[in-house]
């Protein structure tokens, strides 16, 4: 199961087809974790995540470089939603006994899916969402910047 | 009869107890820029989910006769960018002690939008 593989975004390649949103919703029981508004945005899985520092129950944890919510610890209070600097933690209202209760969900890097691969990256037709090792992504980004620098 | 008593000074107006209560004793309504938390009925014996879950320890149980329904009104802070209510002011104050370098004046939706436009 993709040990050090992560989702990397290349926003300049996005063609606004919303395939990733649909794929994510389908895999995560109708609660999509990716939003396309011009360019796709998912959780960036920060190295020092403010959501983890803000959570008073320790419901968020880092699993192999991916920040995940432990559903049995989460109280759906909404504090982590406010703490995320990118607004990548989503809230969906669910019906329970006639009242609407908010459910909090975020990108889990598809770590428990059978594919061993993030579905958004698998679906993306233009390669705007990549699924690669951290080191490879850094090298390719450096290459791109260097090419732009050479071009002037 | 046992009832819930929420400490108004400590309550930050999050969704934790509202989500945890399976019997619908804790009610939460957003009316414009005010969040209203109300307890109108007595609750069941033996259930301590809400007390267990409260981030500030604001919940206590009292075994007195059921007197007055409790209502807590909390002011909502509005987003600087879109002007819509985003969270209670106390919740933002609670969060500002835990995280640094995060602009808590902007709502999550606007943050997402601005990071996608950058």
- The CATH number covering residue B84 comes to 3.30.70.20
pLDDT at A2: 41
Which residues are CB-neighbours of B55 under 8 A, at least 6 positions away? A56, A57, A77, A79, B12, B14, B16, B94
Closest CB from A41, A83, A85 relative to B95: A83
On the question of pLDDT at A96 being above 60, the answer is yes
| pLDDT, tens digit (0-9, with 9 covering 90-100), for A35-74 | 898 888 899 888 899 999 999 999 999 988 889 999 999 9
Q: Which residues of B touch A10 (CB under 8 A)?
A: none
Which three-class secondary structure state does DSSP give residue A72?
A: coil
On the question of pLDDT at A1 being above 60, the answer is no
State how far the Cα of B111 lies from the Cα of B117, in Å rounded to an integer: 10
The two tokens of residue A13 are: 């390649």
pLDDT at A49: 92
Parent domain of B32: 1-118
- Total number of domains in chain B: 1
**Interface contact A77-B55, CB threshold 8 A:** yes
- Confidence bin at A111 (pLDDT 50/70/90): confident
pLDDT at B118: 67
* pTM for this prediction: 0.84
**Residue of chain B whose Cα is closest to the Cα of A34:** B112
List, as ranges, residues 35-54 from B with C-beta within 8 Å of A.
Answer: 53
């Amino acid at each position: 199961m993709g040990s050090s593989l992560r989702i990397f975004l290349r926003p300049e390649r996005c063609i606004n087809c919303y395939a990733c949103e649909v794929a994510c919703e389908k895999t995560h029981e109708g609660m999509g974790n990716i939003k396309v508004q011009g360019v796709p945005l998912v959780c960036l899985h920060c190295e020092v995540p403010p959501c983890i520092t803000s959570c008073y129950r320790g419901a968020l944890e880092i699993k192999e470089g991916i920040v995940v919510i432990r559903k049995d610890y989460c109280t759906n209070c909404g504090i982590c939603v406010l703490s995320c600097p990118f607004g990548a933690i989503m809230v969906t209202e669910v019906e329970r006994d006639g009242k609407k209760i908010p459910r909090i969900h975020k990108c889990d890097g598809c770590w428990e899916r059978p594919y061993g691969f993030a579905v958004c990256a698998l679906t993306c037709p233009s390669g705007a969402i990549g699924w690669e090792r951290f080191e490879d992504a850094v090298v390719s980004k450096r290459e791109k910047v260097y090419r732009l620098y050479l071009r002037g | 009869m046992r009832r819930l008593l929420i400490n108004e000074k400590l309550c930050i107006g999050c969704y934790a107890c509202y989500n945890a209560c399976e019997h619908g004793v804790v009610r939460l309504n957003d009316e414009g820029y005010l969040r209203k938390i109300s307890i109108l009925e007595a609750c069941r014996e033996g259930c301590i989910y809400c007390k267990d879950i409260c981030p500030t320890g604001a919940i206590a149980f009292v075994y007195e006769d059921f007197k007055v329904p409790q209502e807590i009104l909390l002011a909502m802070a509005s987003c600087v960018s879109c002007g819509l209510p985003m969270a209670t002011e106390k919740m933002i104050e609670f969060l500002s002690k835990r995280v640094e370098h995060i602009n808590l004046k902007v709502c999550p939706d606007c943050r997402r939008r601005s990071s996608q436009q950058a």
